[in-house]
Structure 1
């Protein structure tokens, strides 16, 4: 399992929380190697202690910048990290963004990766009729045809890349994804171009499975960061068993579900509700959210 937690402490807190959720929910969790690409292994060890199955790859600024490439794209580094981890360690890898939380044991995912299935987090829909951003990207690429993105059509599905499952046999696909990301980003510099590249390359090599039933990806809920800061502050110095017990009291699944409901309202509805003093808030003491 692979994480990136470089720079801001918020990313480190999220990654630690994700690791805790794995340790809490999975039997024999110590049998799986967890690799964290970070600039501060000491920060992780101050919370998690020294765990024999957690390896820290210290990343300096120069290496991080090199992985961003000459397009200077932060999410390009994600692909390079997965490539580095597979080249160095082999085996099967489940990469996770830091803002993730385990819902159940991912063992079936690893078994499927071993059998040759690739994974992304969740299918978001067809790019041609998806979010306004996805439609804008599709329209631009169709208006500027090029061999590099000739595989894109009205049937192209966009997947969220907050979780990626691959094996060492897929290194060639990562090289293709890096190349396509560079070309797409140069044409249309959007923060979703690495997930579009993954969506195209992986689905050209068999349909991608979805990690979503096993892992919550709360990318839309930045409010969690202040709550995690409180959580780790209140539990500073506590041993791992106490952290795992208190993890169960943290209402992240409820909060994410209710944030989804809030954001599915029309923009004018949300604006009107805010004028009335009604808005989405982090759940207090597990009270029902608006």
Structure 2
């Protein structure tokens, strides 16, 4: 099984999250498993040298993967196609950087071996969603046909923080890309979620699609608290000079249930936050003082 992470961009939280996620998985992989990180900053993963395959991808390659519509999240599909071409056609388990293993990796492998495909969770029928982005997407796509597949009211949106493909890996990814490109032409001004929806459809075309949220935690809905936790973890490890093995052991003993993976913010809190930002812009600027180097 190829376990794949993508870590692009300059934000240090991304490689930090990805390394933390890998630390939760490393003790559970077998000799038949390969952990692969595609990144434009390979030096950020030196800690894991010898344990994972670190594949450097430059900005030009990433940009080409965005396609004619310059849709960044199309990169996820293209990157997985790249993995299939570079390594092998083995089952793929793609994980967003903001994930961690909470269950049994053997269960994930068993589901893939049984021919099932996996995504993090079923978020519900696109046609029934109460979220504005999903409603806008449904309005544009309903009744349209892409690669012979009609977008009807039964089509569901699955969370793509986990993408597990068991068999016909190349064929499934090719379909996901074709769907994404076709839907981009239908809805070019609001492309959000189209790569996610493409995965949701393509993974369900060739196999039974199952949720795997009981094995993989995904804290996309509470990144601030988790980034604080992970940042503190790495600072502690750095200051105490913990070895990789010690860091892995440390992570295995952490209580992941103490911090929520999702926090729903009410509309009034969002409006209050915007008001605070507006008021802060109207107030006098802070006085700042800097040191002056003696050279």
> Do they fold alike, i.e. is TM over 0.5?
yes
SS in structure 2 of the partner of residue 57 of structure 1: strand
SS in structure 1 of the partner of residue 198 of structure 2: helix
Task: Name the structure 2 match of 1:160.
Answer: 159
Paired residue for 1:56, among 45, 54, 57? Answer: 54
Deviations 1:241-272 (A, max 9, x none): 32123325655432125x44xx1x7534x579
Correspondences of 1:128-277 after superposition (within 5 Å): 128-132=127-131, 133-142=133-142, 145-148=143-146, 151-167=150-166, 169-188=168-187, 189-223=190-224, 224-236=226-238, 237-248=241-252, 250=254, 252-257=256-261, 259-260=262-263, 263=264, 266-268=266-268
Task: Name the structure 1 match of 2:293.
Answer: none
Q: Which runs of 5+ in 2 are unaligned?
A: 274-295
**Conservation of the 8 A alpha-carbon contact between 1:22 and 1:105:** no
The alpha carbon displacement at 1:95 in A equals 0.6
The alpha carbon displacement at 1:23 in A equals 2.3
Q: Distance in 2 between matches of 1:272 and 1:38?
A: 36
Higher Rg? 2
Q: Which runs of 5+ in 1 are unaligned?
A: 275-290
Q: Distance in 2 between matches of 1:87 and 1:128?
A: 36
Please tell me whether residue 14 in structure 1 is matched to residue 13 in structure 2. Answer: no
**Conservation of the 8 A alpha-carbon contact between 1:87 and 1:168:** no
Moved over 6 A (4+): 271-274
**Conservation of the 8 A alpha-carbon contact between 1:173 and 1:202:** yes
Cα separation, partners in 2 of 1:215 and 1:68, compared to 1, 3 Å? same
Of the structure 1 ranges 5-14 and 205-214, higher mean CA displacement relative to structure 2 is found in 205-214
Q: Distance in 1 between matches of 2:26 and 2:83?
A: 21
RMSD: 2.5
Please tell me whether residue 3 in structure 1 is matched to residue 5 in structure 2. Answer: yes
Q: Distance in 2 between matches of 1:235 and 1:31?
A: 29
SS in structure 2 of the partner of residue 78 of structure 1: helix
The alpha carbon displacement at 1:114 in A equals 2.7
Give the length in aligned residue pairs: 262
Task: Name the structure 1 match of 2:122.
Answer: 123
Deviations 1:173-200 (A, max 9, x none): 2111111112222332332111111112
Q: Distance in 1 between matches of 2:26 and 2:130?
A: 35
Q: Distance in 1 between matches of 2:55 and 2:271?
A: 48
Cα separation, partners in 2 of 1:230 and 1:186, compared to 1, 3 Å? farther
